[in-house]
């Protein structure tokens, strides 16, 4: 039986949409408010590797969410595809890391965490990825790493929500601030007027810190720009994801190859630049020389919600009844979304949480 609760979610990226999807069966009404188009910011702009780029370099709090999500993604994609007819394309290719400085640390982490990552001979890598450039000396490989086609994931989530009678997604509806009654946050002010809710969830990506500052709270979430380029190749051109010198190549099922990404602190400016384009092209050709003859069919920039150590804020904001956070996922929003949104739903609905929620609690961190 659905609870008599009206939940307002600020932000219609993957985190906001999946939060709505996970809550819909258990609350009376869910309203998602998005300042632009749903899922058109970092959710659309990212690469969609279903793993942190260097998982062994992260705090165990990020690892816990990543492991849960990696295991859950295939069934989430199947469920969305079955209900909407839009396939998020969770594509399991495996991932090669080349010439890492901290390879020993990576292998030690894999042994400790029980992840299928191991050293491989370079001749085996060239057999598996014939288009790979020369000059690499050593490699490690994890077989079960997938990528999700994030624009399709967004479309699928949006379609699933539009089919739910108790969910409303308002696009082009910017939230300007919060409505308070005493200690309680009971809604938001928008360009279209006041929208009330029993619970208000802030999932506004890189904009979350700015919104929360209106309550006198300092949330250390800031925009970090990333630029990507896209090539179109034959569908069998690249079989695996490869990563070297901080840049990666991701094959989609239809032959599109994503190359990313930059890491820039430029405020809220997300203008693609010629400098980044040339740098990404150079990385692409170094990784895969044949891309020198391929056409760049896309170049864009997005803003990641940067946070300390990349640990998201998930849970209730103390001192502000009715206000919740699910934000600050930095470079791993798509990776961590299934676990973050399940954990969030568990907390809001008072269920047993899937993992220990303590590391993500806003209390003591803002």
pLDDT-based confidence at 2, cuts 50/70/90? low
What value does the mean pLDDT take over residues 345-355?
97
The confidence score (pLDDT) of residue 209 equals: 96
User: What residue ranges of the chain are covered by domains with CATH 3.30.9.10?
Assistant: 95-143+222-306
The confidence score (pLDDT) of residue 148 equals: 96
The confidence score (pLDDT) of residue 366 equals: 87
**What HEC string does the chain produce?**
CCEEEEEEEECCCHHHHHHHHHHCCCEEEEEEECCCCCCCCHHHHCCCECCCCCHHHCCHHHHHHHHHHHHHHHHHHHHHHHHHCCCCCEEECCEEEECCCCHHHHHHHHHHHCCCEEEECHHHHHHHCCCCCCCCCCEEEECCCEEECHHHHHHHHHHHHHCCCCEEEECCCCEEEEEEECCEEEEEEECCEEEECCEEEECCHHHHHHHHHCCCCCCCCEEEEEEEEEEECCCCCCCCEEEECCEEEEECCCCEEEEECCCECCCCCCCCCHHHHHHHHHHHHHHCHHHHHCCEEEEEEEEEEECHHHCCEEEECCCCECEEEEECCHHHHHHHHHHHHHHHHHHHHCCCCCCCCHHHCCCCCC
**Per-residue pLDDT reduced to its tens digit, 185-213:** 999 999 899 999 999 999 999 999 999 99
pTM: 0.96
**CATH top-level class of 3-46+152-221+308-360:** alpha beta
Q: Domain 95-143+222-306, what architecture? A: 2-Layer Sandwich (3.30)
User: What residue ranges of the chain are covered by domains with CATH 3.50.50.60?
Assistant: 3-46+152-221+308-360
């Amino acid at each position: 039986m659905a609870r008599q609760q009206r939940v307002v979610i600020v932000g219609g990226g993957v985190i906001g949409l999946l939060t709505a999807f996970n809550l819909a069966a258990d609350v009376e009404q869910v309203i998602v408010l998005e300042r632009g188009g749903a899922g058109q910011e970092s959710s659309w702009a990212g690469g969609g590797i279903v793993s942190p780029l260097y998982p062994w370099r992260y705090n165990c709090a990020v690892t816990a969410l990543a492991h849960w999500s990696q295991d859950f993604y295939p069934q989430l994609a199947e469920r969305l595809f079955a209900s909407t007819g839009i396939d998020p394309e969770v594509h399991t290719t495996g991932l090669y890391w080349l010439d890492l400085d901290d390879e020993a640390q990576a292998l030690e982490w894999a042994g400790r965490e029980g992840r299928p990552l191991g050293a491989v001979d370079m001749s085996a890598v060239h057999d598996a990825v014939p288009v790979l450039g020369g000059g690499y000396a050593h490699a490690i490989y994890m077989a079960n790493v997938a990528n999700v086609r994030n624009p399709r994931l967004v479309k699928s989530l949006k379609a699933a929500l539009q089919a739910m009678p108790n969910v409303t997604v308002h696009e082009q509806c910017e939230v300007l601030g919060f409505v308070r009654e005493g200690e309680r946050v009971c809604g938001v002010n928008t360009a279209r007027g006041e929208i009330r809710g029993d619970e208000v969830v802030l999932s506004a990506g890189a904009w979350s810190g700015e919104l929360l500052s209106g309550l006198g709270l300092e949330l250390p979430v800031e925009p970090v720009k990333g630029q990507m380029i896209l090539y179109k190749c034959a569908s069998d051109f690249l079989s695996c994801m490869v990563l070297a010198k901080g840049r990666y190549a991701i094959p989609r099922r239809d032959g599109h190859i994503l190359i990313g990404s930059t890491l820039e602190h430029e405020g809220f400016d997300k203008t693609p630049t010629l400098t980044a384009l040339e740098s990404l092209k150079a990385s692409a050709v170094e990784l895969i020389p044949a891309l020198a003859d391929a056409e760049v069919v896309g170049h864009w920039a997005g803003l990641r919600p940067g946070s300390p150590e990349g640990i998201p804020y998930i849970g209730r904001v103390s001192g502000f009844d009715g206000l919740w956070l699910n934000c600050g996922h930095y470079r791993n929003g798509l990776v961590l979304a299934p676990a973050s949104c399940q954990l969030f739903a568990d907390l809001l609905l008072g269920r047993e949480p899937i993992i220990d929620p303590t590391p993500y609690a806003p209390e003591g961190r803002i």
